[in-house]
């Protein structure tokens, strides 16, 4: 376990800053929803950021709205382009790498299954092979998902050492990604030889992440907001499904905490879950109803169908390991996370950047 005195109340900007201020941080997938929130946090921490990702998919997404950020360089490239990726990493010489680039959608993975595996699995292998070429100390955090587990949909909180699986192509590809990480960790970044290679690598598995700036298809919050803005009834596919809901700043605080501690203590090179408390595993209809209340108006319809593609009806995550080993705790309950998210979408465009940074400051001051 990492030194306790190092971890007391560490997840605030003042105490995270020494880990990241003036450090070089390479972020893949920085144009996406979660990646944009991460680089906004790193900006406030005084980091030197280089992003590598496809161009942003949505013009009204967070990446476009929170510019300019303190990014040394923003490279619009595909994670599957191995030589280009390796070149960008070697030239930048990062102190930390946060790997978020992915095909992140379950329903889309049914449409492009092979591409989903290629991006998520081979893309990760490309990144980690590039890390083997570095001749300086580097700390790597690979972001996967809570869906990596063999989900039997029983009333069980999945722990990091539970069996990996994945019913749909997305979930299976992320389980494969975990195997890739573990293989590289054993073969190239073995902790027995840390003094030689100076690489520490951890994987992180977050729950269902919500927050402002997400416009992805087939995600509940974007679906809710699009309908509310048009004064249309919200079409809800699976109102009874239970998920571990959390605001995007919750796992990001965990990633940043783990990254900083891992740079000091390579024995933390393993997998960690970041999710809400057990009581915040809510049904989809509870999320929808809280969002409508926060918005001030709206209604929803149950459009579930027996012919829809498979999506798990129950998924719960244990965060005991992160609590015990990292002293990490979620700060917002699920209802507060929903309220923060909907309030973000209610802001006028000209206020979004300031509001985003204010939400980050408010979160870390909790």
User: What would the mean pLDDT of 261-277 be, rounded to a whole number?
Assistant: 96
Residue 47 belongs to a domain: yes
Residue 291 belongs to a domain: no
| Full-model pTM | 0.93
Q: Which residues, in sequence order, are CB contacts of 306 under 8 Å at separation 6+?
A: none
- At 2 the pLDDT is 40
Residue 9 belongs to a domain: yes
- At 110 the pLDDT is 93
Residue 200, H or E segment: strand 199-206
pLDDT-derived band at 240, boundaries 50, 70, 90: confident
Look up the CATH number of the domain holding residue 149.
3.40.50.720
- At 308 the pLDDT is 61
Number of compact structural domains in the chain? 1
Contact between residue 363 and residue 73 where contact means Cβ atoms under 8 Å apart: no
Query: On the CB side of 280, how many CA atoms lie within 13 Å of its CA?
Result: 24
Residue 241 belongs to a domain: no
- At 279 the pLDDT is 86
Query: To the nearest whole percent, how much of the chain has pLDDT over 90?
Result: 76
pLDDT-derived band at 16, boundaries 50, 70, 90: very high
- Whether residue 7 is predicted with pLDDT greater than 50 in this model: the reply is no
- At 10 the pLDDT is 60
Q: What range defines the domain where residue 66 resides? A: 4-207+246-276+319-334+348-364
User: What would the mean pLDDT of 76-91 be, rounded to a whole number?
Assistant: 97
User: What would the mean pLDDT of 221-235 be, rounded to a whole number?
Assistant: 93
Residue 243 and residue 52: Cα distance in Å, rounded? 30
- At 5 the pLDDT is 38
DSSP SS3 for 210: strand
pLDDT in tens, 105-139: 888 999 999 999 999 999 999 999 999 999 999 99
pLDDT-derived band at 6, boundaries 50, 70, 90: very low
Residue 178 and residue 144: Cα distance in Å, rounded? 7
- At 307 the pLDDT is 59
- Whether residue 353 is predicted with pLDDT greater than 80 in this model: the reply is yes
pLDDT-derived band at 238, boundaries 50, 70, 90: confident
> What is the overall mean pLDDT for the chain?
91
User: Which residues on neighbouring strands pair with residue 142, listed in sequence order?
Assistant: 99, 203
Residue 216 belongs to a domain: no
Residue 232 belongs to a domain: no
- DSSP string over 251-301: HHHHHHHHHHHHHH-GGG-SEEEE---GGGEEEHHHHHHHHHHHHT---EE
pLDDT in tens, 297-328: 999 998 876 656 555 556 788 999 999 999 99
More confident residue, 299 or 3: 299
- DSSP string over 23-86: -EEEEETTTSHHHHHHHHHHHHTT-EEEEEESPPS-TTSHHHHS-S--EEEEEE--TT-HHHHH
- Whether residue 207 is predicted with pLDDT greater than 80 in this model: the reply is no
pLDDT-derived band at 32, boundaries 50, 70, 90: very high
More confident residue, 98 or 106: 98
Residue 284 and residue 288: Cα distance in Å, rounded? 6
Residue 82 and residue 286: Cα distance in Å, rounded? 43
- At 153 the pLDDT is 75
Query: On the CB side of 163, how many CA atoms lie within 13 Å of its CA?
Result: 7
Residue 314 belongs to a domain: no
- At 348 the pLDDT is 93
- At 313 the pLDDT is 59
- At 3 the pLDDT is 40
Question: What is the CA angle 192-196-199, rounded to 5?
Answer: 80
- Whether residue 97 is predicted with pLDDT greater than 60 in this model: the reply is yes
- Whether residue 69 is predicted with pLDDT greater than 80 in this model: the reply is no
C-alpha torsion 296→217→358→275, nearest 10: 100
Residue 24 belongs to a domain: yes
Among candidate residues 100, 89, 120, the one with its CA nearest the CA of residue 38: 100
pLDDT in tens, 126-175: 999 999 999 999 999 999 999 999 988 777 899 999 999 988 999 999 99
First to last CA, the chain: 25
- Whether residue 243 is predicted with pLDDT greater than 50 in this model: the reply is yes
């Amino acid at each position: 376990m990492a030194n306790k005195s190092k971890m007391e109340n560490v997840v605030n900007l003042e105490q995270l800053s020494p880990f990241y201020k003036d450090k070089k941080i390479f972020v893949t997938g920085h144009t996406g929803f979660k990646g944009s929130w991460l680089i906004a946090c790193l900006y406030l921490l005084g980091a030197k950021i280089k992003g590598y990702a496809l161009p942003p998919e949505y013009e009204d997404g967070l990446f476009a709205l929170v510019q300019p950020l303190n990014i040394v360089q923003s490279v619009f490239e595909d994670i599957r382009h191995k030589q280009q990726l390796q070149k960008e990493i070697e030239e930048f010489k990062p102190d930390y790498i946060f790997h978020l680039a992915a095909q992140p959608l379950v329903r889309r993975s049914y449409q492009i299954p092979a591409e989903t595996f290629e991006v998520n699995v081979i893309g990760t292998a490309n990144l980690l092979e590039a890390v083997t070429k570095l001749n300086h100390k580097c700390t790597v955090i690979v972001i996967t998902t809570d869906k990596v587990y063999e989900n039997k949909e029983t009333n069980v909180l999945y722990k990091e050492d539970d069996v990996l699986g994945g019913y749909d192509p997305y979930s299976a590809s992320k389980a494969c990604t975990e195997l890739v990480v573990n293989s590289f960790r054993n073969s190239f970044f073995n902790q027995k030889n840390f003094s030689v290679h100076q690489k520490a690598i951890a994987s992180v598995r977050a729950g269902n992440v919500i927050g402002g700036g997400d416009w992805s298809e087939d995600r509940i919050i974007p679906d809710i907001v699009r309908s509310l803005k048009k004064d249309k009834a919200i079409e809800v596919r699976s109102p009874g499904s239970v998920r571990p809901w959390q605001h995007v700043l919750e796992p990001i605080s965990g990633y940043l905490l783990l990254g900083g501690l891992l740079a000091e203590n390579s024995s933390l090179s393993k997998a960690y879950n970041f999710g809400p408390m057990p009581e915040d595993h809510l049904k989809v209809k509870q999320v929808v109803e809280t969002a409508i209340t926060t918005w001030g108006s709206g209604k929803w319809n149950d459009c579930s169908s027996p012919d829809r593609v498979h999506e798990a009806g129950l998924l719960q995550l244990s965060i005991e390991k992160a609590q015990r080993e990292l002293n990490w705790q979620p700060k917002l309950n699920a209802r507060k996370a929903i309220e923060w998210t909907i309030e973000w979408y209610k802001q006028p465009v000209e206020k979004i950047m300031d509001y985003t940074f204010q939400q980050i400051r408010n979160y870390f001051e909790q």
